[in-house]
Structures are given as C-alpha cells and as structure tokens.
C-alpha cells in the first residue's frame, strides 16, 4: 500500500460499551477518500505513548485508519480496570463500533504485544464479522499456566512488578521499592503490607490457586476453534511466553475455526520480551542476522488480509525459527519438527551431583543401581534467578542468557552434564524431564534448567521451568505428598532451538527454587500465598532401573 498519505487526528472519542461505560479512543485517519481498513490497538499503557503513536502514524501514512484505545479503567477510559477478564467483551464491542463507522471499510486487523496481544486473543473467539486478521506478539492464551501460576507456583517477579505498575489509572512508579524486601515478604497474598498498594486482582490470583472457572473464563487456548481469522504470532526464545507461542501456533494451525485461521504463522527469534530490539540478549550477541524488521513483516501480513494485496505471504513457510549456536534463520513447517529424533539422556551419579563440580552426568546409557542424590532446600535461602525467560523489569530481574556458574556452585543445585559433544549437536523442540524424587514434607517444588556449557566453562541457560509437588497430577486439584514417597514428575522445561557446538556440553540443573522468578515453596503443605511458616526440606532425586530419571531431548539432524 502507498506510504504517502497525510493524516488527521480524532482524539479522545468516547466509544460506548454494552454496559454504558465509555472507552477513550484516538483515531488517525488518512487524508484521502475512504473508507479504509482499520488497525486497532487496545492498551493499558496509554494510547498517547510515543511508540504507539509512531505506529499509528505509520499505518495512517499507508492508507489505514489506525485506532488506539485505552482499556477500561486506564488513562482516559471510564470504568474500573481489572486485568484480562473485561477484554473479550470490550474488544468485541469496540470492533463492532468501528465496523459501523463511515470511514471503516469493514476490515479490522489488531496488532501489538504483551497485554496488547492479550486483548487480541481474548476478543477473537467472539467472532466480530469485522475482524479479519491479528498480529499478537509475546502473549499466552492460558493465563493460569502461562502467566500467573506456571507449574502450579506463583510467578512472583512478573506479577508483582507488572501488577504494581498497572495498579492505578495511570502508570505507577516502582523504582523506589526495596525489591529484595518486597519479594521476600510473607504472606504473599498480603501485598499491601509489603508495598503499600492495594490490588484487588492480586488477592484473586491467590484465591484462585487452582485452575478453576476463574481462569477458564479467559482461557483462549480452549477456544481456538472459535477463531476465524489468521494470526501472525511473534515470540522469542528468552521471552516469558516462549512455550505459549508454539501452543498458540499449533492451536491455530490444528484447531482454528476456518481455513484462513489455520494459515496462522509463527516467527521465533533469540529475543526476550522486547522483540528484535538489539542483536544482544543478556550476555550473548547473536549477530546481525538476529535483528529483523518485524514491523515490515507485520505490514505485509495486514496488507494481505486487510488490503487484499496479493503478496503471497500465505505461501511462505508457517514457521520461521532462529537457531542459536550457529545463529541462522530456518524455515520449518510443523512443531515439533517431524524429523525429530527423541533421545532419552539418563541422569547418573554416585550420589554426589551437587554443584557443577560434582559427579552428576548425562548419557544415553540407562542407569543401573545408583545412589540417589540428596540436598536440603531452605526457602529462607532460595536459589537466585539469573536471567532466563523473565519479564518485565530487566533492571530488577535480568532476562536472557547469563552465566549460571554462580548458582551451579551451590550444594542445593544438582548438575548432570554430558561429555563434550564430538560434533555439532542440534536440539530444537520442547524439552521435557521425567524425574523420580521424594521429599520429607507434604509439598515442595522441583526446578529444571537446560544449559549449554562452553569449553571455557561458561554455562549459558537455554530454558527452565518448575513444578509444584501438589500439582504433579494436574492443576485443577491439589494432591499433597506423602513424606518419603517417591513420585514421578513430568516437567516441561520449555522450548529451544540450539546447536551445542563440538566441544560444548549439555547440562541439566535440578533444584527446588528459582527465586524471585517463582515464589518459594515453604515446604509446610499449608495454603500457598497465605502461609508464613518455613521449614527446610530434605530432597532426594533417584536414577536407577526402578526410577529411570531422564531428560528427553529433541535431536535434529543437520543437513
């Protein structure tokens, strides 16, 4: 489409919702004969911010009407703000209102990342006849597993920092908090006592600790079949929502409610939550090819589905993956890759896998009769989060790849490491751990992390996750542990695409905390979020004929 249009602005237009609440909408219209296709962005971060205005101007210059709306209860919009639960109806009502405007040609596309992606996923299943395409970046569709309670824990860093920023009508500063004190405050549900802020949704997040009807109300992952429009999904290997990007991709490709919806695509780069802003993420510079123009790709997507431009983008490969290690882009067609060689790498030790200097190993050989590994987990001194799939305050808790040797020096971190790779070894796909373990209490957590160890010892984290013992059988119901009983745990560690170069080693870290990314299990078996009592847990990890703990790696033969 042309990029030569001047534009006019219609600011703070009151858009009515079904319950009478008016939302503040800014509209940028090309100075040309309409009607126009419409780009819609709905945000809690102000529709008058520099970045969103620049995006609006760019689309208006190209002949699109661009609409930015403050969500309910934020900035200039009326009503009370409450994350996620109000966005489906408000988004649908906004789409219907836009479709009736004389300057709209009946075609609406939605764009934006994070919460601006959430509002797309939440409203799409309501199927406004005007919505024709989406470009949701870095967002989950299952808010229980993907955001608030991953693995049945509480995703403390994100929920506290982001929640506090959005707890008022306008942006709330968090720069002056003592974050060490705030993260350690107990009980967790009493946020006001540690930060001075009252956030009603914070209490609800703790009240609904199981995956119940509260979470089902906003779970789009269970409603992909109701979505009729194609989505161009964008994510990063070090983003908070890396696994969710593939869940959304597969959900749309396999369950989408129309042939068009099943043409959805995914682009996955070596980025944190802020996609393709730099070639460097954390410690690692992934090189010039890693930074691509996602806005240009977005425009081509919308030109095709809103402007009916025959640019052939629907004929491109549905998956575009950045392969770390060799730092190259590659087109793929399905996830997991059809040619994956699923390999079981078994945990071994003589009972001394504690620290990276212990005797824990990983190999393709099954374990025999081996001593279990033991460690003490003290929630008063949890294992520190160093990088990883974090959000959204890198100045408080950094995101991306960092050297993990500081945590690997702790006796409460078990390390299982392969021999050096004889040649380049690619691992691309979901990473899973089957582990047999016991504790001496009624509940505890288990963490797992995949690490690429360079010949010089630098230990680069690739992905990590956690499971709360009481949720080992599912998140709808809690099942406490029997002290001393060995249980089987299936831990979805995350997703990656990484070439372990010749001479590099693969390492698995196992522990019971990753703080403050996740809240601490206090090991008492009491109600999480409302407990302040702590106890030290005695942990055991088994690997033997009877308890064949192993890491499942998706090996991919390189051509």
DSSP SS3 for 543: coil
**Tokens of residue 51, six digits:** 């970045």
Phi, psi for residue 244 in degrees, rounded to 5: -65, -30
Listed residue (369, 6, 352, 95) closest to 361, CA to CA: 352
The CA distance from 154 to 468, in Å, is: 10
- Catalytic residue (one of 77, 114, 167, 349): 114
In eight-state DSSP terms, residue 355 is: B
- Catalytic residue (one of 273, 348, 543, 550): 273
Q: What is the dihedral of CA 403, 401, 336, 424, to 10 degrees?
A: -50
CA dist list (Å): 482 to 477, 479, 507: 16, 10, 30
The CA distance from 187 to 197, in Å, is: 15
Phi, psi for residue 351 in degrees, rounded to 5: 85, 15
Q: Which residues contact 329 (CB under 8 A, 6 or more apart)?
A: 289, 292, 320, 321, 322, 323
What residue has token string 């208006």?
Answer: 60
The CA distance from 70 to 55, in Å, is: 15
- Catalytic residue (one of 239, 373, 452, 519): 239
Phi, psi for residue 160 in degrees, rounded to 5: -75, -50
What residue has token string 């996740």?
Answer: 518
CA dist list (Å): 304 to 67, 228, 307, 312, 325: 19, 16, 6, 8, 34
- Is 273 considered catalytic here? yes
Contact 435, 446 (CB under 8 A): yes
Phi, psi for residue 31 in degrees, rounded to 5: -85, 80
- Any idea which residues carry the catalytic annotation? 114, 239, 273
């Amino acid at each position: 489409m042309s990029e030569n249009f001047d534009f006019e602005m219609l600011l703070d237009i009151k858009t009515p919702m079904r319950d009478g609440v008016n939302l503040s909408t800014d509209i940028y219209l090309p100075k040309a004969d309409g009607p126009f296709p419409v780009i819609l962005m709905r945000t809690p971060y102000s529709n008058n911010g520099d970045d969103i205005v620049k995006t609006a101007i760019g689309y208006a210059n190209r002949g699109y009407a661009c609409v930015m709306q403050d969500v309910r209860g934020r900035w200039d919009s009326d009503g009370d703000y409450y994350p996620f639960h109000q966005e489906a109806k408000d988004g649908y009502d906004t789409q219907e209102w836009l479709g009736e405007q004389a300057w709209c040609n009946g075609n609406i596309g939605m764009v934006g990342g994070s919460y601006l992606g959430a509002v797309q996923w939440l409203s799409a299943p309501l199927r406004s006849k005007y919505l024709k395409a989406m470009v949701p970046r870095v967002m989950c569709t299952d808010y229980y597993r993907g955001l608030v309670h991953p693995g049945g824990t509480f995703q403390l860093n994100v929920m506290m920092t982001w929640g506090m920023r959005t707890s008022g009508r306008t942006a709330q500063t968090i720069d002056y908090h003592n974050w060490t004190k705030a993260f350690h405050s107990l009980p967790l549900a009493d946020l006001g006592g540690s930060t001075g802020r009252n956030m009603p949704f914070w209490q609800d997040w703790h009240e609904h600790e199981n995956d119940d009807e509260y979470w089902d109300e906003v779970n789009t992952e269970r409603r992909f079949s109701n979505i009729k429009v194609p989505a161009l999904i964008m994510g990063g290997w070090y983003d908070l929502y890396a696994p969710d990007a593939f869940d959304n991709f597969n959900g749309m490709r396999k369950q989408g409610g129309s042939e068009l919806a099943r043409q959805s695509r995914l682009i996955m780069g070596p980025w944190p939550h802020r996609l393709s802003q730099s070639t460097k993420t954390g410690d690692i510079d992934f090189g010039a090819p890693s930074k691509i123009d996602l806005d240009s790709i977005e425009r081509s997507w919308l030109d095709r589905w809103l402007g009916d431009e025959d640019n052939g983008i629907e004929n491109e490969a549905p998956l575009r993956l950045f392969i770390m290690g060799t730092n190259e882009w590659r087109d793929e067609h399905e996830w997991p890759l059809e040619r994956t060689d699923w390999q079981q790498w078994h945990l071994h030790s003589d009972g001394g896998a504690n620290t990276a200097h212990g005797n824990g190993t990983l190999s393709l050989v099954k374990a025999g009769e081996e001593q279990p590994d033991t460690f003490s987990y003290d929630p008063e001194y949890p294992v520190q989060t160093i990088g990883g799939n974090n959000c959204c305050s890198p100045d408080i808790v950094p995101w991306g790849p960092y050297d993990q040797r500081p945590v690997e020096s702790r006796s409460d971190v078990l390390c299982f490491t392969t021999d050096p790779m004889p040649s380049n070894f690619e691992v691309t796909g979901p990473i899973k751990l089957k582990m047999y373990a016991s504790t001496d209490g009624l509940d505890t957590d288990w963490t797992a992390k995949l690490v690429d160890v360079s010949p010089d010892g630098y230990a680069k984290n690739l992905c990590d996750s956690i499971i709360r013992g009481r949720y080992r059988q599912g998140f709808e119901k809690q099942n406490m542990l029997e002290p001393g009983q060995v249980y089987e745990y299936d831990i979805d560690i995350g997703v990656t695409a990484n070439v372990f170069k010749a001479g590099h080693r693969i390492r698995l870290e196992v522990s019971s905390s990753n703080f403050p990314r996740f809240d601490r299990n206090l090991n008492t078996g009491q109600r999480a979020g409302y407990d302040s009592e702590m106890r030290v847990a005695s942990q055991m990890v088994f690997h033997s004929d009877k308890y064949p703990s192993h890491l499942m790696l998706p090996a991919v033969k390189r051509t």
